[in-house]
Amino acid sequence: MKYILLIYSDSSDEPVPGTEAHGKYFQAFGTFTGNLAKSGKMAGGDALEPVSTATSVRVRGGKTVTTDGPFAETKEQLGGFYVVDADNLDEAIEWAAKIPTAEFGTIEVRPLMVFDNM
Amino acid sequence: MADTSPTPARRTVEIVIREEWGRVLATLVGLVRDFTLAEDALQDAVLVAVDTWDRRGIPDNPRAWLIQTARHKAIDRLRRGVRFEAKRNELKVLAELDAATHTAPTEDEDIHDERLPLIFTCCHPALADEARVALTLRTLGGLTTYEIARAFLVPEPTMAQRLVRAQRKIKKAGIPYRVPPPDLWPERLDSVLAVLYLIFNEGHTATSGENVTRADLCQEALRLTENLALLAPDEPEIQGLLALMLFHEARRETRTDGSGVLVALEDQDRGSWDQALIARGDEVIRKALKQSAPSPGRYQLQAAISGLHATAPTFAATDWEEILMLYGRLHQLQPTPIVRLNAIAAASFRYGPEAALESLNELVTETDLATYQPYHATLADLLRRAGSLPAARDAYRTAITFTDNVAERQFLERCLATLTEAA
């Protein structure tokens, strides 16, 4: 089963760029991504630009309405994601717990929908 | 219309089905890997069973009979389903089921017990607490949705919805059907024990409603814990929880008087406590403590405390020294204000109410117990025993405003009335 691991965090909790803590955080991501790739369970993933760059789009009555900002204005924002190919939820949780951001943020684990009509 | 007075034969059939439900459903879930399908198929099989067994008698191996019949019903349901919407997984299951049916076990062949993986699935931490409780009672306990809804005082459609949502999440989120591997075992076992304890507590001290004990939930929790203890005999915390339930159960009848009002431990009729259950609890906890020495878990510590109360010949002869030592260890594992509150109440019988009032004052300034009914009830009792009657009356009145359980409220009102008469 494929799961998306959505990485949420409050930017004020994140290590400040240029500090030693930030260097370690970055390195930990490198290690994590390397381990996930090596395990053969990595099915995708990327980091996102900050929410200040986000644009929300809705179509209402045939009209496209574009607004500045993310869909939900909350403290914890989506900062990146991985897609893992795991045997079950327990395995997906195990990977999620290893994402460095899990130490101060939240990782949401969502199964990807399977359309398997033949 | 439904028969309002079931024949003895019908009643026996119902008891057998209830007894076998958990094991049969566990086996079916293992086979079809789908909760909803397994349950629907078992329902179909039960309908056939009620009808057939009523007329022809109960088969020698009702479990094998139910599994076999339900397996055929599951195949029927899958065949009907796949015709319209062929899904790869279901076709695979169907093929496996067909193969399994052709090499079906004979009636006396032992069927592997699948309840252990099932209980871990039902109590998976990815499910909401309420969902875990409901699913465990439905799947392993064989309680109907109506019974569970009544026990938890929610409308039946709400409970049905909760169960459906939980089953759907298991399937869609890929919650595994297995006994967790060793690295996950402690966390997952905690979750299972917490669910069983929640069920027992809900029956033992109803938080709302008319009666303080809802015996059927206690019985069910006890039965499930006994089963779990048999399935994992080397786990002292399961034994600890079992002993704790046995001690509570032994005293259940004396916890309320004839009119359903709570009776304080001090005033309970010790002669009416179930000595057989106490002896059993005592044996279970002793064995568990030996296994886990020198670091017993929290359920074992609670059981040991409960056991000291249950085996004390009189309230005055209770071994408070030992109980306080156990509370100290419990607080190390579970540093909650509630554990401290209970320890303070116990200490008051060893060191007097005045000293306890001081500790209680410290506790309430450090923690957030001001809306917690037992805090005010304990405060009232300590004030009463220390001779501060007006303050005690105030504390009882506050305690009454924080309870929505009728039996508890009547108990507190009675305490208050006694104080008012004495004044």
Domain assignment present for residue B223? The answer is no
B278 within 8 A of B253, measured Cβ to Cβ: no
Chain A residues with CB inside 8 Å of B86's CB? Answer: 117-118
- Distances from the Cα of A63 to the Cα of A1, A57, A66, angstroms: 37, 10, 10
Q: Which of A90, A111, A118 sits opposite B176 (nearest CB)?
A: A90
Report how many domains make up chain B.
Answer: 4
Confidence of residue B326 (pLDDT cuts 50, 70, 90): very high
Chain B residues with CB inside 8 Å of A1's CB? Answer: 174
**For the sheet containing A42-47, what is the strand order?**
A42-47, A76-85, A2-10, A106-111
pLDDT one-digit tens code per residue, B187-219: 899 999 999 998 888 777 654 455 555 667 888
Q: Which of B88, B173, B180 sits opposite A111 (nearest CB)?
A: B173
Confidence of residue B106 (pLDDT cuts 50, 70, 90): very low
Determine the average pLDDT of the residues in B47-76. 90
Q: Name the minimum distance, in Å, from the CA of B385 to any CA of chain A.
A: 49
Share of chain A above pLDDT 70, in %: 97
pLDDT in the model for residue A56: 86
pLDDT in the model for residue B259: 79
Query: How far is residue B414's CA from residue B5's CA, in Å, rounded to a whole number?
Result: 41
Segment 8-47 of chain A within 8 Å of chain B by CB: none
State which of B105, B136, B164 marks the end of a domain: B105
Determine the average pLDDT of the residues in A90-95. 94
pLDDT in the model for residue B105: 46
Query: How far is residue A109's CA from residue A92's CA, in Å, rounded to a whole number?
Result: 7
Same domain, yes or no: B238 and B329: yes
Same domain, yes or no: B278 and B299: yes
CA dihedral A62, A68, A74, A79 (to 10 degrees): 100
Residue A116 in contact with partner chain B when CB distance is under 8 A: yes
Q: Rounded to two decimals, what is the model's pTM? A: 0.79
Query: How far is residue A42's CA from residue B110's CA, in Å, rounded to a whole number?
Result: 42
Domain assignment present for residue B319? The answer is yes
Has domain A2-111 been given CATH number 3.90.850.10?
no
Give the helix ranges, DSSP H, for B205-274: 215-231, 236-251
**Interchain CB distance below 8 Å, B87 and A93:** no
Confidence of residue A118 (pLDDT cuts 50, 70, 90): very low
B359, pLDDT greater than 70: yes
**Interchain CB distance below 8 Å, A89 and B85:** no
Tell me what ipTM this predicted complex has: 0.80
Residues 6+ apart with CB under 8 A from A112: A1, A2, A3, A4, A83
Query: How far is residue B370's CA from residue B360's CA, in Å, rounded to a whole number?
Result: 11
Chain A residues with CB inside 8 Å of B85's CB? Answer: 117
> For chain B, what is the mean pLDDT?
86
pLDDT in the model for residue A53: 85
Same domain, yes or no: B303 and B348: no
Same domain, yes or no: B249 and B343: no
Q: Which of A111, A116, A117 sits opposite B174 (nearest CB)?
A: A111
pLDDT one-digit tens code per residue, A15-25: 998 999 999 99
Query: How far is residue A58's CA from residue B210's CA, in Å, rounded to a whole number?
Result: 51
Of the listed ranges A40-44, A109-113, B54-58, B331-335, the least confidently predicted one is: B54-58
Domain assignment present for residue B18? The answer is yes
Chain B residues with CB inside 8 Å of A118's CB? Answer: 86-88
Domain assignment present for residue B271? The answer is yes
Q: Name the minimum distance, in Å, from the CA of A10 to any CA of chain B.
A: 23
Which of A85, A87, A89 has the most B C-beta neighbours within 10 Å, making it the best mutation to test the interface with B?
Answer: A89
Amino acid letter, B211: N
pLDDT one-digit tens code per residue, B258-295: 777 888 999 999 999 999 999 999 999 999 999 999 99
pLDDT in the model for residue B108: 40
Domain assignment present for residue B30? The answer is yes
Confidence of residue B110 (pLDDT cuts 50, 70, 90): very low
Q: What is the CA radius of gyration of chain A?
A: 16
What's the length of chain B?
423
Domain that holds residue B396: 338-423
Domain assignment present for residue B224? The answer is no
A to B CB pairs, distance under 8 Å: 32
DSSP-derived secondary structure letter, B268? S
Measured from the Cβ of residue B121, the count of other Cβ atoms closer than 10 Å reads: 22
pLDDT one-digit tens code per residue, A45-85: 999 988 888 888 888 888 888 888 888 878 889 999 999 99
**Interchain CB distance below 8 Å, B176 and A93:** no
Domain assignment present for residue B219? The answer is no
Query: How far is residue B400's CA from residue B403's CA, in Å, rounded to a whole number?
Result: 6
Q: What is the CA radius of gyration of chain B?
A: 25
